[in-house]
């Protein structure tokens, strides 16, 4: 399981940046995807990423403590972090939240 990050304490002096994946990095339910976006095969969901995402995220990490805030859970690091080559970031846990609305079509 990834590192959880309690909202009432943190280990850094940098401002926090909560980063979502669907609709932020990966277009969500788009009819067409920009050509620089590539589908990540074997992903659990439709996931399209661009190589430039790595540079953007690493640049943001210079000034912010990046925390995944996504329904992807641990897969944010094991799939997205791995595929982009950005390493791991702390994860805001949604385990007690009811997020089924996002997954239902």
Local confidence pLDDT in tens for the 105 residues of the chain: 455 555 555 566 899 999 998 888 888 777 788 888 888 875 566 788 999 999 999 999 999 999 999 888 888 999 899 999 999 999 987 665 555 545 544
Does residue 4 lie within any of the structural domains?
A: no
Residue ranges making up the domain that contains 30 = 16-103
pLDDT given for residue 105 in this prediction: 46
DSSP-assigned beta bridge partners for residue 67: 18
The answer to the question of residue 76 being in a domain is: yes
Answer yes or no: is 96 within a domain. Answer: yes
Q: Is residue 41 part of a domain?
A: yes
CB of 65 closer than 8 Å to CB of 16: yes
For residue 28, give Cα distances in angstroms to 1, 16, 20, 40.
25, 24, 11, 14
Quote the number of domains for the chain.
Answer: 1
Give the up-direction half-sphere exposure of residue 46: CA atoms within 13 A in the CB hemisphere.
11
């Amino acid at each position: 399981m990834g590192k959880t990050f309690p909202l009432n304490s943190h280990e850094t002096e940098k401002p926090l940046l909560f980063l979502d994946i669907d609709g932020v990095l990966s277009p969500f339910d788009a009819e067409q995807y920009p050509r620089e976006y590539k589908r990540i095969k074997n992903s659990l969901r439709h996931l399209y990423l661009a190589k430039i995402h790595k540079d953007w995220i690493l640049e943001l990490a210079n000034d912010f403590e990046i925390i995944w805030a996504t329904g992807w859970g641990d897969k944010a690091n094991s799939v997205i972090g791995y595929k982009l080559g950005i390493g791991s970031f702390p994860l805001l846990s949604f385990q007690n939240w009811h997020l089924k609305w996002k997954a239902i079509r």
